[in-house]
Structure 1
Amino acid sequence: MTVLLEMENISKTFKRKHVLKNVTLDVPAGSIVGFVGDNGAGKSTTFKTILGLIKKDEGTVRLFGEEVHGQQPSMREQVGVVFDAINLPAELTIKQLNKVFVKMYSSWDQEGFDRLLETFHLPTDKKVKEFSRGMSMKLSVAVALSHNAKLLLLDEATGGLDPSSRKELLEELTRFVEENKGGILLSSHIMSDIEKIADHLVFIKDGEIILTEKREVIQNQYAIVEMNENDLSTVEPEHIVTSYKEKDAFVVLISDKRVVPDNVPVNELTLEDLSVFLARGEKK
């Protein structure tokens, strides 16, 4: 399987604070990787490190098999980027911006861009500064999808969108992966979006990856259970991902619910539950 993005043992320190600690992840072609963590966990710093906007202290970043050293304009067309903050010229209309994109990208897909403008209901004669946040995000995604990129880096791209617009956007992202065999690294606080389209999940906390797993494995095999110390002692340590103590019991994330003692209730696990739990739990 072709790997579009590889990050290996990436570390970064700002003012003596470790904001990234040995971050390792990859995005294979044909996959959508959900990148999950609270504000300040290190998601945006990870994105900026991939793009060379922030200089890493240690580790290796490879795009399409080639090691990245700082910003590399030659890879601009192969990577589509959407950040939470809008970076498009506020005084221009979409019609005016289109002329810029045609010159900027040798592989600009005019037909595809026009289709996305219609799908996302975006007015071509209105200045970007007059757009709502949701409209601006949809425009940014339309641009990212219209220059034949192989990899999309989407940092909170569904933020500010109503449910109908989010559905349209997620359908386009799925289409991109299926038709182009592209890859997506997608961060979002909206876990239902991640749950709908991501096939791999990466959870980050305090700059450190604490869990990497296939979504279906998490949904089918993992469990969050509450048990006493005696019950916990019967579970092999290799099956305990993380835990925290609450009053006289332990709340534990188990990687295989089949090893949970029969007397301990096992409830259905949602990604929302898992995200909240990992933000609170202590690393094993």
Structure 2
Amino acid sequence: MLKIDHLVKNYNTFSLDCSLEVLPGQITGLVGKNGAGKSTTFHAVLGLLRPDSGKITLLGKDSQEITAKDKQKLGVVLSDSGFSGNLTIQDIIPVLEKLYDDFNKDFFMKQVEIFGLPYKKKLKDFSTGMKAKLKVLIAISHQAKLLLLDEPTAGLDVVARNEVLDLIRDYMTEDEERAVLISSHISSDLESLCDDFYMLKDGKIIFHEETDVLLDQYVVLKVDEAQYEKLDKSFILKVQKENYGYACLTNENAFYIENYPQIIIEKAAIDEIVTMLSGGDEQC
């Protein structure tokens, strides 16, 4: 569905060098702190900026060969774009019907009613949650094959985030050939949604793993100073200093369970993995 091969974009104070792949039938998460390069990646995929080098393959084609017809197969949510705030949902429906040959008005209107979105209220008067739901609803209402969702849950409360994520889940269950690339700086939002994760740090992909592997094999060892000195650090990915001693991230839980039964070993949540990989020290 989407393959990015060494996409490079250089700015005065920031450089992006990104490679990733989104496969049919999968939801891929792109996580990282604000400023890591997530939005730059989305903008490059959509042709909104010109990369310095690299190749992007989109829907089986070189991105430079994508036609207007091809673009109808994309469902897009960008944090910095949307319809004019002076329009209403009533106003944008004719626009969507002209933009997308496969726009499903009946589905769209049903979802508008379900989510209680005001039909004749100006978009600028919508709450943050209403705006987010509307953006995702527009993206999934025209039989898109690939969703590109940049921070679709940013600024939402827990209830609104779950409603948006449920929309995405329902979209995927309808067609096994569909795919999603979704970014967030709140990685726990995506833990139950994504099949795999890429992590961006300072413009570089530093981590890629399937979600099942993350949740099954990644653990945090909690050790005091004496235990840390005796610890075999061959399989330690990151170390973080704590009041009690050290927190050590590893993806070889079986090794440490078998060889160090006396130390505390805890399952690592996605957010904890991202935090440690972003800020912890290398193994030492």
TM-score by length of 1: 0.89
- 1:5 maps to which residue? 2
- 2:207 maps to which residue? 211
Matches within 5 A, 1:105-120: 105-120=100-115
Give the Å deviation of 1:71: 7.3
Give the Å deviation of 1:151: 0.7
Match of 2:43 among 45, 48, 54: 48
- 2:274 maps to which residue? 275
> In 1, are the aligned partners of 2:219 and 2:267 still within 8 Å (CA)?
yes
1:171-213 residue CA offsets vs partner (Å, 9 max, x unmatched): 1101111212211111123333211211211111101111110
2: CA distance between counterparts of 1:82 and 1:18? 23
- 1:97 maps to which residue? 92
Paired AA for residue 7 in structure 2: I
> In 2, are the aligned partners of 1:20 and 1:207 still within 8 Å (CA)?
yes
Q: What is the RMSD computed on CA atoms of the aligned residues? A: 2.2
- 2:78 maps to which residue? 83
1: CA distance between counterparts of 2:211 and 2:154? 22
Q: Number of aligned pairs?
A: 276
1: CA distance between counterparts of 2:9 and 2:282? 20
1: CA distance between counterparts of 2:162 and 2:98? 31
Q: Secondary structure at the match of 1:87?
A: coil
1:47-73 residue CA offsets vs partner (Å, 9 max, x unmatched): 111111121112111111211128753
Give the Å deviation of 1:19: 2.4
> In 2, are the aligned partners of 1:55 and 1:70 still within 8 Å (CA)?
no
Paired AA for residue 280 in structure 1: G
Paired AA for residue 110 in structure 1: K
| % same residue | 34
1:235-256 residue CA offsets vs partner (Å, 9 max, x unmatched): 43xx333335568965432111
TM-score by length of 2: 0.89
Paired AA for residue 39 in structure 1: N
2: CA distance between counterparts of 1:231 and 1:79? 53
> In 2, are the aligned partners of 1:242 and 1:282 still within 8 Å (CA)?
yes
Give the Å deviation of 1:272: 1.8
Paired AA for residue 272 in structure 2: D
1:145 and 2:168 are equivalent in the alignment: no
Greater alpha carbon shift after TM alignment, 24-33 vs 62-71: 62-71
Paired AA for residue 216 in structure 2: N
Matches within 5 A, 1:59-208: 59-69=54-64, 72-181=67-176, 182-208=178-204
Q: Secondary structure at the match of 2:56?
A: strand
- 2:15 maps to which residue? 19
Give the Å deviation of 1:269: 1.1
2: CA distance between counterparts of 1:173 and 1:78? 16
Change (3 A) 1:229 1:177: same
1: CA distance between counterparts of 2:206 and 2:72? 32
Change (3 A) 1:282 1:205: farther
Paired AA for residue 188 in structure 2: S
- 2:263 maps to which residue? 264
2: CA distance between counterparts of 1:163 and 1:250? 32
Unaligned runs of 5+ in 2: none
Paired AA for residue 157 in structure 2: D
Q: Secondary structure at the match of 2:266?
A: coil
Unaligned runs of 5+ in 1: none
Paired AA for residue 278 in structure 1: L
